């Protein structure tokens, strides 16, 4: 085996497998896109290109573009690369974080180290988490939903081209919805960048989504379809190596708390008052605990729910979330149209998280294995 092939195998097979034994979700991300091993130069070059692109956007964008949201071009370019796989998105995200946090000339005014960390550096971490959702979680959602779209119609749609068309259509729809949802929610969730500094958010930080958000959706749709076509023969198999050991209750609780805190940080833009953070983090941690506890304490329920096709559960949660959210907003708005605070949105998000925890109990997902080049 040539050196290039050995390096590609180490990057796409050995590294995900090794990491996946300790941190299975990270291993799954690192393996997503392993179909690129069919083309060794691409398998080695694309992660580098993605990392450099992220680094360039993070470090060397114009100084007046304080955040990546100032231009739709920045997330669109990175999303286009991430469409080839969540691993590519992760490398682009890592490059951006390093460039933005360490190299971009952010202007800071706080002299006290603690005040500086909380009010000026912590908001940047929120923007990184939002970008992670787009570049890493988004491609995983597209692949999972495209695969899940086949199961409900498996007996109705003939094998071959018809089923492939269903998968492509599902990928296009999900990719567009993910990009649209991310574009809309980021306009609100990015608020802590200003509120933690006791300033008003620069309109330029969100107006790009209102004016050019359709460009991001187009990139997501095209990228989702192209990525699915290129990786259409990639099997989804259990991770290589020994089976994962059953986690202790303490590990499950600790992991759920960490996940809940991270989700809560991403939703800080929904807060009106600092006191609301207690409710927010309590709700996110509770949802994470419920999702992790169901397979251990209610295995029959988890098994029954997981037999329902993924796409059916997603549609059901979307409909229920929309109905409950609409009811909450109408009940708490002024004259049924104008919100008096962000608390109704916070409550709606909490209900949606709890519904999702019940509909998607934790499980050991399969890690995509590399296809022989």
User: For 344-361, what is each residue's pLDDT tens digit?
Assistant: 889 999 999 999 999 999
Least Cα distance to 357 among 250, 259, 247 occurs for 259
Residue 294 within any structural domain of the chain = yes
Distance (Å, rounded) from C-alpha 226 to C-alpha 22? 32
Angle subtended at Cα 140 by Cα 277 and Cα 268, rounded to the nearest 5 degrees: 10
Residues 109 and 191 in one domain: yes
Residue 315 within any structural domain of the chain = yes
Residues 233 and 255 in one domain: no
Better pLDDT: 295 or 367:
295
Kindly tell me if the per-residue pLDDT of 338 is higher than 60.
no
Kindly tell me if the per-residue pLDDT of 179 is higher than 80.
yes
Residue 243 within any structural domain of the chain = no
191, 211, 238 — which closes off a domain?
238
Residues 90 and 66 in one domain: yes
- Across 19-28, average pLDDT: 88
Residue 32 within any structural domain of the chain = yes
DSSP assignment letter at 105? -
Residues 158 and 219 in one domain: yes
Cross-strand partners of 368: 236
238, 270, 295 — which closes off a domain?
238
pLDDT band for position 263 (50/70/90)? very high
Residues 58 and 142 in one domain: yes
Residues 65 and 174 in one domain: yes
Kindly tell me if the per-residue pLDDT of 320 is higher than 50.
yes
Residue 369 within any structural domain of the chain = no
Residue 358 within any structural domain of the chain = yes
How many C-beta atoms surround the C-beta of residue 339 within 10 A? 12
Count: domains in the chain: 2
For 236, the 3-state DSSP assignment is strand
The 3-state secondary structure of 266-309 reads HCHHHCCCCCHHHHHHHHHHHHHHHHHHHHHHCHHHHHHHHCCC
Residues 210 and 255 in one domain: no
Residue range(s) defining the domain that contains residue 152: 1-238
Kindly tell me if the per-residue pLDDT of 31 is higher than 50.
yes
Residue 244 within any structural domain of the chain = no
Residues 288 and 229 in one domain: no
Residues 144 and 13 in one domain: yes
216, 238, 260 — which closes off a domain?
238
Give the C-alpha distances (Å, rounded to integers) separating 211 from 72, 184, 186, 207, 369.
9, 12, 14, 6, 40
User: For 186-218, what is each residue's pLDDT tens digit?
Assistant: 999 999 988 887 788 888 889 889 899 999 999
Residue 370 within any structural domain of the chain = no
What's the mean per-residue pLDDT of the chain?
A: 85
Percentage with pLDDT > 90 across the chain:
51
Kindly tell me if the per-residue pLDDT of 55 is higher than 90.
yes
Residues 109 and 200 in one domain: yes
Residues 54 and 136 in one domain: yes
Residues 196 and 86 in one domain: yes
User: For 136-169, what is each residue's pLDDT tens digit?
Assistant: 999 998 888 877 766 666 666 676 677 778 888 8
Cross-strand partners of 181: none
């Amino acid at each position: 085996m040539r050196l290039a092939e050995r390096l590609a195998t180490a990057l796409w097979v050995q590294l995900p497998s090794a990491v996946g034994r300790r941190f299975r979700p990270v291993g799954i991300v690192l393996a997503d896109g392993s179909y690129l091993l069919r083309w060794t130069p691409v398998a080695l070059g694309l992660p580098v290109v993605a990392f450099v692109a992220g680094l360039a956007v993070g470090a060397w964008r114009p100084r007046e573009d304080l955040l990546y949201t100032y231009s739709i071009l920045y997330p669109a370019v990175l999303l286009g690369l991430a469409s080839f796989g969540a691993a590519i998105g992760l490398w682009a995200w890592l490059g951006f974080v390093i460039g933005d946090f360490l190299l971009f000339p952010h202007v800071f005014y706080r002299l006290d180290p603690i005040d500086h960390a909380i009010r000026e550096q912590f908001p940047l971490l929120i923007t990184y988490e939002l970008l992670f959702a787009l570049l890493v979680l988004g491609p995983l959602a597209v692949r999972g939903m495209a695969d899940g779209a086949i199961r409900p119609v498996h007996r109705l749609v003939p094998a071959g081209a018809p089923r492939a068309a269903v998968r492509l259509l599902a990928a296009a729809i999900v990719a567009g919805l993910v990009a649209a949802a991310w574009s809309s929610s980021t306009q609100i969730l990015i608020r802590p960048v200003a509120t933690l500094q006791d300033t008003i958010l620069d309109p330029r930080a969100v107006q790009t989504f209102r004016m050019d958000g359709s460009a991001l959706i187009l990139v997501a749709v095209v990228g989702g379809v192209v990525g699915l076509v290129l990786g259409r023969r990639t099997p989804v198999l259990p991770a290589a190596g020994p089976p994962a050991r059953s986690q202790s209750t303490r590990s499950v609780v600790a992991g759920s708390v960490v996940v809940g805190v991270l989700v809560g940080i991403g939703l800080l833009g929904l807060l009106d008052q600092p006191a609301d953070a207690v409710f927010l983090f309590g709700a996110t941690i509770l949802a994470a605990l419920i999702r992790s506890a169901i397979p251990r304490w209610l295995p029959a329920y988890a098994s029954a729910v997981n037999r329902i096709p993924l796409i059916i559960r997603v549609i059901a949660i979307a409909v229920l979330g929309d109905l409950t959210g609409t009811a909450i907003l109408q009940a708490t708005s002024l004259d049924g149209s104008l919100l008096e605070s962000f608390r109704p949105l916070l409550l709606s998000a909490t209900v949606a998280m709890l519904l999702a925890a019940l509909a998607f109990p934790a499980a050991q997902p399969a890690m995509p294995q590399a296809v022989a080049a």
